[in-house]
Amino acid sequence: MCTVTGSKLLVETDHARLMIDCGLFQGLAELRRRNRRPLPLDPADVQSVVLTHAHLDHCGYLPRLVRDGLRGPVLTTPDTARIAELILRDSAHLLREEADHANEYGWSKHRPAQPLYASGCSSDPPECPSDRLCVPTALSATKLTVRRLSSSW
């Protein structure tokens, strides 16, 4: 069984907390259960999220982070923003189908089974208080420079 880990990197300075990516764990049930655990930080303390690309293991936890208190923007490129919106909507649909299936056939330990997030990034207020926060924001006036460090570091 292939597993994909949920990429979430926290960068802290004296003045800010920034997350790089905010992904879902996928694969083995043991890893997927991590998606249900609270993060070891208050999402309201994160100023923004930088999304590197739109794979679910890099963007799939964004609706949950927003629901749990993220108020800052999600910064990314215009193309990544468009793709991430599609990925998150599709993910929400699949999570809903999985919960419905679990409820119909009784295979979840939760009664009733609930999706990790209900709407992805649509207009569902409990999950997404603002589309500005859910749908990644294309970088405009902000300049973000990422440099690869030496591989020996």
Task: Tell me the CA distances in angstroms from 42 to 17, 47, 112, 118, one per residue in order.
Answer: 11, 11, 27, 21
In this predicted structure, what is the pLDDT of residue 96?
A: 93
- What are the tokens at 115? 């999706």
Q: What percent of the chain is predicted at pLDDT more than 90?
A: 40
* Amino acid, res. 144: L
Task: Tell me the CA distances in angstroms from 88 to 79, 102, 118, 147, one per residue in order.
Answer: 14, 21, 11, 28
Question: d(Cα 26, Cα 6) in Å, to the nearest integer?
Answer: 7
Does the CA dihedral 61-67-71-73 come out positive or negative? positive
pLDDT in tens, 51-101: 999 999 999 999 999 889 998 889 888 888 889 989 998 999 999 999 999
